[in-house]
Homo-oligomer: A and B are copies of this chain.
Amino acid sequence: MTGYSAPLKDLEFLFGKFGLGSSLQSLPPFSEVGSDYLSPIFEEAGKFAGEVLAPINHSGDQQGSTIENGVVRTPEGWKEAYDTFVEGGWCGLPFDEDIGGMALPWTVATAVGEMWHASNMSWGLWPLLTQGAIEAVHAHGSDDLKRLFLPKLVSGEWTGTMNLTEPQAGSDLALLKTKAVRDGEKYRIHGQKIFITYGEQDLSENICHLVLARLPDAPPGSRGISLFLVPKRIVDQDGNIGEHNDLRCVSIEHKMGIHGSPTCVMAYGDNDGAIGYLIGEEHKGLACMFTMMNNARLTVGLQGLAIAERAYQQARAYARDRIQGIAPGADGKGPIVRHPDVRRMLLTMRSTIEAMRALILDTMVALDTSKHHEDEAARTYAHRRVDLLTPVIKGWLTDQAVNVTSIGVQIHGGMGFIEETGAAQHFRDARILPIYEGTNGIQAADLVGRKILRDDGAAVWEYLDELNSLINGLNAISDPDIAEIRKHLAISIDTLESAIDWLLSEGKQDDAAAQAASTPLLTLFGITAGGAMMARMAKCAYETLKNGDPGIDQAFMQQKVITARFFAENILSTAPGLLPSICDGHNTVMRLADEDL
Asked if A324 is at the interface of the complex by the 8 Å CB criterion, the answer is yes
Task: Determine which residue in A255, A419, A570, A596 has the highest number of CB atoms from chain B within 10 A of its CB, and name it.
Answer: A570
Asked if A218 is at the interface of the complex by the 8 Å CB criterion, the answer is no
CA distance A431 to B408 in the complex (A): 12
Asked if A445 is at the interface of the complex by the 8 Å CB criterion, the answer is yes
Contacts of A473 in B (CB 8 A): none
Interface residues contributed by chain A, number (CB under 8 Å): 102
Beta-carbon contact of B346 and A175 below 8 Å: no
Min CB–CB distance A435 → chain B (angstroms): 6
Asked if A428 is at the interface of the complex by the 8 Å CB criterion, the answer is yes
Q: A569-B580, A596-B559 in contact; A256/B410 too (CB < 8 A)?
A: no
Contacts of A339 in B (CB 8 A): 441, 515
* A contacts, CB < 8 Å to B: 165, 168-172, 175, 194-195, 253-257, 316, 319-320, 323-325, 327-329, 333, 335, 337-347, 350, 402, 406, 409-410, 413-414, 416-420, 424, 427-428, 431-432, 434-436, 439-441, 444-445, 484, 488, 511-513, 515-516, 518-520, 555, 559, 562-563, 565-566, 569-571, 573-581, 584-592, 594-597
Beta-carbon contact of B402 and A406 below 8 Å: yes
Contact of A414 among B170, B565, B578 (CB under 8 A): B170
Q: 9 interchain pairs (CB within 8 A)?
A: A170-B414, A254-B418, A255-B417, A255-B424, A328-B515, A341-B519, A345-B441, A410-B439, A424-B431
The main secondary structure of chain A at its interface with chain B is helix
Contacts of A576 in B (CB 8 A): 576-577
Beta-carbon contact of B590 and A581 below 8 Å: no
Beta-carbon contact of B441 and A416 below 8 Å: no
Min CB–CB distance A490 → chain B (angstroms): 13
CA distance A325 to B333 in the complex (A): 58
Contacts of A427 in B (CB 8 A): 256, 431
- Look across to chain B and name the residue whose beta carbon is closest to the beta carbon of A346: B597
Contacts of A515 in B (CB 8 A): 328, 339-341
Min CB–CB distance A55 → chain B (angstroms): 20
Beta-carbon contact of B574 and A581 below 8 Å: yes
Contacts of A410 in B (CB 8 A): 434-435, 439-441
